């Protein structure tokens, strides 16, 4: 009996967001998609949309920064007898604060969600993929992965840690068949969060001034399909209007 191929997306929130777009894209390719995040209601809505469209999605409530949650998440996939083809860490927790207003608790929180969670997720994903020496592990980064700018210094420190983690994993496990990718999202994603938190900024960007979630999801799928003789480790995505 042929095993069902699966994808896992951690960091799925509103239906108009990157996590949901990734889940829909992978489901369109026939993968059983496991979606994880902290909001049961948001996960249920995304899963329902995928299932109604003819795909297969299983929602799992999990906190990326809690090790037992990460272990149980992958245990659930293992018990489903699915072959994990793609694992995407899409957590992007960002709380702006000037440095002198950043306390240890905030700095630690951002590190836990953006870097520690990625380590826990990546370790479990690679453990599952190594048995077949095949799989794609994608970490969603940000402009802050490459440079720090106030009031996002703590966020940048965490995202830089995520980038370093991805580099180390790529060098260690690439020769064993695991494709590890760090995707720099250099701009604002056009989703529910951006439109709710800073609508004036979104309006000022105008048409095609924001990254479209479905377009990013297409790129992630293309990265997964790359031949191992020409793998991309790091890629940056931005609207053509964005200054860089």
Domains of the chain with CATH codes: 5-237 (3.40.50.720)
Q: Answer yes or no: are the C-beta atoms of 185 and 237 closer than 8 Å.
A: yes
Residue 151 predicted with pLDDT over 60: yes
pLDDT at 3: 58
pLDDT at 242: 84
- Would you place residue 231 in the very low, low, confident or very high pLDDT band (cuts 50, 70, 90)? very high
Give the span between the Cα atoms of 18 and 117, in whole angstroms.
Answer: 18
Residue 203 predicted with pLDDT over 90: no
pLDDT at 202: 81
pLDDT at 1: 35
| Digit-coded pLDDT (tens) for 59-71 | 999 999 999 999 9
| Digit-coded pLDDT (tens) for 11-48 | 999 999 999 999 999 999 999 999 999 999 999 999 99
Tokens of 144: 């802050």
| Digit-coded pLDDT (tens) for 158-176 | 999 999 999 999 999 999 9
Q: Report the SS3 class of residue 186.
A: coil
Q: Answer yes or no: are the C-beta atoms of 52 and 228 closer than 8 Å.
A: no
Q: Answer yes or no: are the C-beta atoms of 209 and 14 closer than 8 Å.
A: no
Work out the mean pLDDT of the chain and round it to a whole number. 95
pLDDT at 166: 98
pLDDT at 205: 83
Q: Tell me the H-state helices in 38-186.
A: 40-52, 67-79, 104-111, 117-130, 153-173
Tokens of 15: 């239906």
- For 93, counting Cβ atoms within 10 Å of its Cβ (0-12 exposed, 13-18 middle, 19+ buried), the class is middle
| Digit-coded pLDDT (tens) for 71-125 | 999 999 999 999 999 999 999 889 999 999 999 999 999 999 999 999 999 999 9
pLDDT at 2: 47
The model carries a pTM of 0.95
């Amino acid at each position: 009996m042929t095993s069902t191929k699966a994808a896992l997306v951690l960091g799925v929130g509103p239906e108009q967001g990157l996590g949901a777009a990734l889940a829909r894209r992978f489901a369109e390719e026939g993968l059983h998609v496991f979606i994880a995040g902290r909001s049961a209601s948001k996960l249920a809505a995304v899963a329902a949309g995928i299932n109604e469209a003819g795909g297969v999605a299983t929602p799992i409530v999990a906190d990326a920064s809690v090790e037992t949650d990460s272990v149980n998440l992958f245990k659930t996939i293992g018990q489903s007898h699915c072959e994990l083809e793609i694992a995407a860490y899409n957590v992007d927790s960002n709380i702006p604060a000037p440095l002198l207003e950043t306390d240890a608790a905030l700095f630690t929180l951002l590190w836990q969600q953006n870097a520690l969670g990625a380590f826990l997720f990546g370790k479990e994903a690679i453990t599952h993929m190594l048995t077949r020496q095949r799989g794609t592990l994608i970490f969603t980064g940000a402009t802050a992965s490459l440079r720090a700018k106030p009031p996002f210094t703590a966020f940048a420190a965490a995202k830089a840690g995520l980038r370093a983690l991805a580099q180390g994993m790529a060098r260690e496990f690439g020769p064993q068949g695991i494709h590890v990718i760090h995707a720099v999202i250099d701009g604002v994603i056009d989703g529910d969060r951006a439109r709710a938190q800073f609508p004036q900024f979104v309006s000022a960007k105008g048409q095609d001034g924001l990254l479209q979630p479905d377009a990013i999801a297409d790129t992630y799928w293309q990265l997964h399909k790359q031949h191992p003789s020409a793998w991309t480790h790091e890629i940056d995505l931005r609207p053509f209007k964005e200054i860089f």
